[in-house]
A and B are shown apart, each in its own frame.
Chain A
Amino acid sequence: MQNPSSVATLHGVVKQYGRIKALEGVDLEVRPGQLLALLGPNGAGKSTSIALLLGLIRPDRGRAELWGTDPQRLRARRGIGVMLQSAQLPTTLRVGELLRLTASYYPQPRTLADSAGLAGIEDLLKRPYGKLSGGQQRRVQFALALCGRPQLLFLDEPTVGMDIEARRKLWDAIRALVADGCAVVLTTHYLEEAEALADRVAVMARGRVIHEGSVDDLRARVAVRRIRCLSMLSCEQVRSWPQVSDAEQRDRHLHIATTEAEAVVRRLLDADPGLSELEVQRAGLAEAFTELTRTADATSAPFEVEAA
């Protein structure tokens, strides 16, 4: 029943906080060497899912497992590395001291130099943690997550507070770890981050997984395409066409959303021969995501949300 190659799993997990249902029957599977991005609006159940896999809380029903055993067992947790969304580390300890301490919990940790190199913090080792900028602290937390040579890495909003340069570097480091066989569970609000890194995406809403698959699967689930052009036509006029789901005038351009781009383009060119700067784009992950969570919100009945 259970896939022997999975690293971490949730089986039909239900979790309630008082009267609030945080998770209503969630199945999740993390496979070795894969990056699973967990997406969803706030309150969708991402943090609860991660807390269950880390053994911080127990499911009311169902099972949470790491390598087929209870996440609360120390043995299982020795295979994981963790970067939480907010953890105030001791400010008077130096970065090198924090790394050495965290590495001491693991049986076969990386060397200090390796961990620092992977996270790009070689120049920070002697500095007290409290004197670092927010972005630097995030990189140190990343180093702490990977220093135990984990086979499963939990990264909860890892790039919040980082500049673009630092974010790119972190992405490269994550890719290197995944290429090395490490599985990663990533939660993020930056969809381009999921787009850049994820092998699989699980979208959560209202305590359920409403979609699970590759990034392309997710994009393909939403057939909307975007047309942009310079035209004499008004957006009211275009909006009245049956194939057009939405149209608006923004920064001089006409923006149209449609599921039948070809037909709309043909009609546009017929109606306005002077039309220029025509562009047609597939919806990005952001649109797909918004669309998915919107429909899940609109239809709290479960008829169409069992996707994966």
Chain B
Amino acid sequence: METMITTTDRQGTAPMPAARMLGAYLAEIRSECLRYLRNPGFMLPLTLFPTVFYLMFGVLMNHGHAGAARYLLASYGVFGVMGPGLFGFGVSLAIERDGGLLTLKRALPVPPAAYLLGKMVMAMVAAVVVVTLMLLLGVFAAQVKLGLANMLGFLAMGMLGVLPFCALGMFVGTLIKGQGGAGMLNLVYLPMAFLSGLWFPLSAMPSWLQKLAPVWPSYHLNAIAQRVIGLSTAPVWPHALVLLGTGIVLLALASRRLRRHG
């Protein structure tokens, strides 16, 4: 009877080969992408909001202003990129902290950070989907003339630009549990988009709001997007640095809260 467990050591397990470890990361990423891309309740609002806004304000109500179509392609693109970061990361974390999935993942031998990495890659994929749709609208519906470099730059802006918003979403997700997360994130998302000039150019706003704008991460991503799309010649790196710094600080705060409070 007692000779049945002879193949494993006192730890109770055989060692994990590196290939299986890598496989676990990939499986986590794959599952996280599948579960959200399959979920219309998640993908529809995230893709419809920026594309419909752009169609309305950048194409239908825009009477031949090529500059406005170009500006709004970039700014609504940024608006669209914020969503997967804030909601894909924040809301799902808030719900999974509440529903016990995070507890289960912590009890299971999930490799370090695979859970967060999975969500991050999922947000990047969703952001690229949004940005691609925006590019298609810009080129075909709004007739914005874009070179290959503009387009690739715009895709890269979406893919990397989502990351600081992942960190922000994650931080909010650690503050709030359950369904309340979505409401709270909308309170962050919509005002921030407005105040950083994503819906109307900042020049149309009172000067004190213009001065306040650099506080918001989305202002800096918009600055990068405008450069990438060919509307400005300002250097990208100061804005990229601000976003990187914001992302790191929020990630550190969120991980600390997650470790302490679960």
Known: A92-B35, A148-B109. A79 touches B5 (CB 8 A): no
**B45 → chain A, closest Cβ, in Å?**
16
The residue of chain B having its C-beta at the shortest distance from the C-beta of A182 within the complex is B5
A-contacting residues, B73-123, CB 8 Å: 95-96, 99-101, 103-104, 106-112
Quick check: is B148 within 8 A (CB to CB) of the other chain? no
**A109 → chain B, closest Cβ, in Å?**
9
A-contacting residues, B1-41, CB 8 Å: 1-2, 4-5, 8, 10-17, 20, 23-24, 27-28, 30-31, 34-36, 38-39
Cβ-defined contact, A107 with B20, below 8 A: yes
B4: chain A residues at CB < 8 Å are 33, 180-181
Known: A68-B10, A76-B11. A56 touches B108 (CB 8 A): no
Query: In the docked arrangement, what's the CA distance between A87 and B2, Å?
Result: 34
Select which of B2, B11, B103 is within 8 A of A75 by beta carbon: B11
B101: chain A residues at CB < 8 Å are 87-90
**A51 → chain B, closest Cβ, in Å?**
8
Q: Is the interface of A mostly helix, strand, loop or mixed?
A: loop
**B96 → chain A, closest Cβ, in Å?**
8
Query: In the docked arrangement, what's the CA distance between A146 and B224, Å?
Result: 49
B-contacting residues, A77-99, CB 8 Å: 77-80, 82, 84-93, 97-98
Known: A76-B12, A87-B99, A87-B104. A151 touches B27 (CB 8 A): no
Select which of B39, B109, B112 is within 8 A of A78 by beta carbon: B109
Query: In the docked arrangement, what's the CA distance between A37 and B108, Å?
Result: 21
The 8 A CB mask of A42-71 against B (1 = contact, 0 = none) is 000000000000111000000000111100
B17: chain A residues at CB < 8 Å are 107
Cβ-defined contact, A92 with B27, below 8 A: no
Cβ-defined contact, A75 with B13, below 8 A: yes
Quick check: is B262 within 8 A (CB to CB) of the other chain? yes
Known: A84-B100, A107-B16, A151-B5. A77 touches B34 (CB 8 A): no
Query: In the docked arrangement, what's the CA distance between A85 and B17, Å?
Result: 31
Query: In the docked arrangement, what's the CA distance between A81 and B107, Å?
Result: 9
Could you say which interface size class chain B belongs to? 35 or more
Cβ-defined contact, A56 with B262, below 8 A: yes
Query: In the docked arrangement, what's the CA distance between A101 and B16, Å?
Result: 15
**A103 → chain B, closest Cβ, in Å?**
9
B23: chain A residues at CB < 8 Å are 104
**A97 → chain B, closest Cβ, in Å?**
6
Quick check: is A152 within 8 A (CB to CB) of the other chain? yes
Known: A55-B107, A105-B111. A87 touches B16 (CB 8 A): no
Query: In the docked arrangement, what's the CA distance between A210 and B189, Å?
Result: 53
Cβ-defined contact, B108 with A79, below 8 A: no
Query: In the docked arrangement, what's the CA distance between A82 and B20, Å?
Result: 20
Among the interface residues B1, B31, B100, B112, which one has the most CB atoms of the partner chain A within 10 A? B31
Cβ-defined contact, B27 with A104, below 8 A: yes
Cβ-defined contact, A105 with B100, below 8 A: no
The residue of chain A having its C-beta at the shortest distance from the C-beta of B37 within the complex is A92
Among the interface residues A82, A92, A105, which one has the most CB atoms of the partner chain B within 10 A? A105
A91: chain B residues at CB < 8 Å are 35
Among the interface residues A32, A88, A91, A104, which one has the most CB atoms of the partner chain B within 10 A? A104
The residue of chain A having its C-beta at the shortest distance from the C-beta of B12 within the complex is A79
Cβ-defined contact, A97 with B31, below 8 A: yes
Quick check: is A301 within 8 A (CB to CB) of the other chain? no
Query: In the docked arrangement, what's the CA distance between A77 and B24, Å?
Result: 15
Quick check: is A108 within 8 A (CB to CB) of the other chain? yes
Cβ-defined contact, B10 with A181, below 8 A: no
The 8 A CB mask of A149-161 against B (1 = contact, 0 = none) is 0011010000000
B103: chain A residues at CB < 8 Å are 56, 84, 87
Query: In the docked arrangement, what's the CA distance between A84 and B102, Å?
Result: 11
A151: chain B residues at CB < 8 Å are 5, 8, 12-13
Can you identify 5 A-B contacts, CB atoms within 8 angstroms? A7-B12, A56-B106, A79-B12, A84-B107, A88-B95
Beyond the given A78-B13, A92-B38, could you list 17 further A-B residue pairs with CB under 8 A, ordered by the A residue number? Answer: A7-B12, A55-B106, A56-B107, A78-B12, A79-B8, A80-B107, A82-B107, A92-B36, A101-B27, A104-B20, A105-B109, A106-B13, A151-B5, A152-B12, A154-B107, A181-B4, A181-B5
Which residues does A use to contact B, with CB under 8 Å?
4, 7, 32-33, 54-56, 66-69, 74-80, 82, 84-93, 97-98, 100-102, 104-108, 148, 151-152, 154, 180-181
